[in-house]
Structure 1
Amino acid sequence: MAKKKKCFSSWQQFLIGLAILIFSLFGYLQFRPQTHLVTRIIDGDTIELDNGERVRYLGVDTPEIGECYATAAISLNRQLVLNKQVHLQTDANKLDQYGRILAYVFVSKIMINQELLRQGAGAYFEDYLNHRYQAELIAAAQGAHQNKTGLWRTCAQDKKLGCLIKGNLDPNDRRFYHLPGFRHYSQIVMNLDKGDRWFCTEPDAIAAGFKRARE
């Protein structure tokens, strides 16, 4: 009898183990990151997936088509993701006003948003809602600006100095840009997480909604 009881117990353990394995596999398949094939590059910060949906990278703003460094940004984006499987992570705001998915895009463990900023293909863009990877993105953007990487050298009026125009939001959320030599220039601390932005030219700053500060 003892031997028979032992066999029954082993069979029970086998069934329990099998059930756990099945449920674990089901959970993995249900919650694993979904991947998509990138079939088209729209511009430096927007892609199209194999299901027809368009994805706008969070936290990065590359030059518009026709602007300085736009072609290089598109080329880098193509190199990083075209015909590759990507997985998306969304944040608080999942869609923009045009119906595009707002996401952090990954190829394996590489975050493409961060890589574009690191290589100077765009500027950090603060949207005030999506902050999951804010610190990583700002660090990449600051590093590229300081090292005069990518557009921060190519699009600068003086390539040795880089892009030094400070776009600053004042305490009343008014946007002003300051040129080197302006009276408050050295006092302004650039806080990218507050909406401050670096610019290469005055037209760039004006196009972004900043007004020229008093000299």
Structure 2
Amino acid sequence: MKNRGIMFALLALVTSPVCAATFSGAPRILDGNTIEIDKTNVRLSGIEAPETDQICLDAKGRKWACGVAARDELIKHSNGRTWDCHTQRVDEYRRALGNCFIEGENVNVWMVRSGWALSAAPSHAVYELAASTAHTGLWSGAFIAPWDWPRRNKGTIIVGAWSVPIDAQEVLLGSVLLSEPPSPECLIKGTVERSGERIYHLPGQASYELIDMTKKRSERWFCSEAEAEATGWRKAVR
């Protein structure tokens, strides 16, 4: 019985998704949450940045592609420098979860402190407070929390600067947001099948023009195939 227990323990250790590792190099930044480094997708833990299809309102109540902006600000901050990422486990999409550093600076913290991500860990809450007080990044206007964006509805709370436009919810929930890509570079269409399978469609594929992006809230735009595949989407067959 004891040997059997040891056998199962060893098997669990070998197949466990929990794995501590360190990855170093200049990453490819897929969005404000996810990078590809040393051929591994790494998800910055303890933060929630907007996905690239997310739209926010600026200080004057105008729509802007805040998800693309968050990614681009991270690219600008990285500036081709080497990252060191320390991971402990993987998430449901098999991305390694952990903290990343650029020349000793914690990138996860930088994203929250600069207002390009929200805190998803108690240790980062003080940086979110500083960003919201200074009205930096997303906090310069009004937005939907990144974790609420994919499931947004009429009950979704709008957060942001001290003065949120009275029509903010109506604007940020409108189907027109889905009808056009958030950026000219983000032309990949993502759809969810009845089976729950998530499929992305490239311009030029036979199915692409048939998809009306305003039909279902679960549909979204992607800027690259790597971004889509990093979060569990599969390329359409045709």
TM-score (norm 1): 0.51
Structure with bigger RCO (C-alpha 8 Å, 6+ apart): 2
1:141 to 116, 128, 131: 128
Structure 1 residue 66 displacement after superposition: 2.3
Following TM superposition, by how much is the alpha carbon of 1:142 offset from its aligned partner in structure 2, in angstroms? Answer: 1.2
Is the CA contact 1:120–1:151 (under 8 Å) kept in the aligned structure 2? yes
1:36 aligns with 2:33: no
d(CA) in 2 for partners of 1:35, 1:99? 15
Which has a greater percent of helix?
1
Q: 1:151 aligns with which of 118, 138, 156?
A: 138
Aligned to 1:78: 75
Q: Letter of the aligned partner of 1:52 in structure 2?
A: K
Match of 1:108 in 2: 103
| Distance in 2 between residues matched to 1:61 and 1:83, nearest whole Å | 23
Amino acid at match of 2:51: E
Q: Which has the larger radius of gyration?
A: 1
Aligned to 1:103, the other structure's residue is in SS state: strand
Which of 46, 51, 54 is the matching residue for 1:59? 46
> Residue 144 and residue 95 in structure 1: after superposition, are their counterparts in 2 closer, same or farther (change >3 A)?
same
Stretches of structure 2 that go unaligned for 5 or more consecutive residues are 1-20, 56-65, 148-154, 174-216, 218-238
Equivalent-residue separation in structure 2 for 1:97 and 1:34 (angstroms): 20
| Counterpart Cα distance in 2 of 1:96 and 1:67 | 22
**Runs of 4+, deviation exceeding 3 Å:** 176-179, 198-205
CA spacing shift, 1:164–1:67, aligned 2, 3 Å = closer
1:88 aligns with 2:111: no
- Residue identity matched to 2:120: F
Which amino acid counterpart does residue 57 of structure 1 have in structure 2? L
* 1:80/1:112 contact within 8 Å kept: no
Aligned CA RMSD, in angstroms, stands at: 3.1
State yes or no: 1:48 paired with 2:43.
Answer: no
- Shift of the alpha carbon at 1:115? 0.5
CA 1:101 to 1:178, structure 2 compared with 1: closer, same or farther past 3 Å?
Answer: closer
1:147 positional shift: 1.8
Shift of 1:177: 6.5
* C-alpha distance in structure 2 between counterparts of 1:178 and 1:55, whole Å: 29
CA contact (8 A) 1:35 1:85 kept: no
Q: Work out the number of aligned pairs and report it.
A: 129
Q: Between the two proteins, what is the percent identity of the paired residues?
A: 22
Amino acid at match of 1:36: S
The normalised TM-score by structure 2 is 0.46
